[in-house]
Amino acid sequence: MRAGPERRRTGMGSLHFAPFLHFQGVLQMFKRSVVYVLCFTVLNLGSPMMANAAMIGTLQAVESSTRAQDLATVNAALARDEVRQQFASLGVDPTRVESRIAALTDPELRTLAGQMSDMPAGGDALAVIGVVFLVLLILEAVGVIDVFKKFP
């Protein structure tokens, strides 16, 4: 009889420590994973970082400096009272026009400024209407306004 209960106690004792032994295995796997991650990061600290650089051409440098001049030319022409009145009569918000002009690409802005600088000094009414039409056409193409869809 004594042999029977002793076996049960040893059996019960091993069952009692089974969850603890499983926890130690998980803890050991976690420690091993942390060591692997730390080794990987330490090895990568010594690797050089990649940096990309390129030469800027003269044409590109000149174009970036002329953008400010072209923008000033276009804004000066659009700040005139006749142009503002034409915008108001067509139902276009001048602040939206200014934001769209600022968003133009360099070639578009250069073309617009070139057309404005070719206008006569007196401010030909036909040229002003042409510039307003060009700006409205660009705004319509981008989808900011719907001026031309209002007319049947």
Residue 125: the pLDDT is: 65
Q: Does the structure show a pLDDT above 50 at 65? A: yes
Residue 19: the pLDDT is: 60
Give me the residue label for tokens 């602040």.
95
Alpha-carbon distance of 79 to 104, in angstroms, equals 17
Mean pLDDT of the chain: 75
- For residues 34 and 96, the model is more confident at 34
Residue 115 class from Cβ within 10 Å (0-12 exposed, 13-18 middle, 19+ buried)?
middle
Residue 37: the pLDDT is: 92
Q: Give me the mean pLDDT over the 38-62 stretch.
A: 79
- For residues 10 and 38, the model is more confident at 38
Q: Does the structure show a pLDDT above 90 at 10? A: no
Q: Which residues, including other chains, have CB under 8 Å from residue 61's CB and lie 6 or more apart?
A: none
Alpha-carbon distance of 92 to 81, in angstroms, equals 14
Q: Does the structure show a pLDDT above 90 at 41? A: no
Query: What is residue 45's three-state secondary structure?
Result: helix
What confidence tens digit (pLDDT) does each residue in 78-89 have?
A: 888 887 888 888
Alpha-carbon distance of 2 to 93, in angstroms, equals 101
User: CB 8: neighbour CB atoms within 10 A?
Assistant: 9
Q: Does the structure show a pLDDT above 80 at 73? A: yes
Q: Does the structure show a pLDDT above 60 at 100? A: yes
Residue 21: the pLDDT is: 61
Q: Which residues, including other chains, have CB under 8 Å from residue 71's CB and lie 6 or more apart?
A: 101, 102, 109, 113
